[in-house]
Amino acid sequence: METPVNLDNLREMTDGDRELEEALFQEFFSSAAELLSQLTQAVQTNNTEGWRAAAHALKGTSYNLGAKKLGDYCKIAQEQNDASRNTKEEILQNISSEYERVRAYIDAGEY
């Protein structure tokens, strides 16, 4: 099974500085948790602009970290801005599940 994060680009950016990588992971987790909350709220309140903005922001941070599949789900979310609530709930479930895979992989420290 493919790992949820490809750290090649991150390692190149940080020059292999593990401490800096850890700080970047923590910043990612903090911002991702807030953005997931914003996506959830946007679905509940039918806030299409909030949905698009949160999906766009999470897409960028995911791709920067090397979490391509998570970024791809966020791209779908952004493109499905006018989708039904049920569709958005399904997309959000995919995003949340993939986020948990990324988090578990990083937390395990096996990278």
In order of their start, the domains of the chain are 8-108 (1.20.120.160)
Give the pLDDT means over successive 10-residue stretches in the chain (111 positions): 86 91 94 98 97 98 95 98 97 98 91 68
- Amino acid identity, position 45: T
Cα–Cα distance for residue pair 4/42, rounded to 1 Å: 26
Q: Quote the pTM value.
A: 0.92
Dihedral sign of CA atoms 34, 37, 41, 46 in order: positive
Render pLDDT for 71-93 as a digit per residue (tens, 0 to 9).
Answer: 999 999 999 999 999 999 999 99
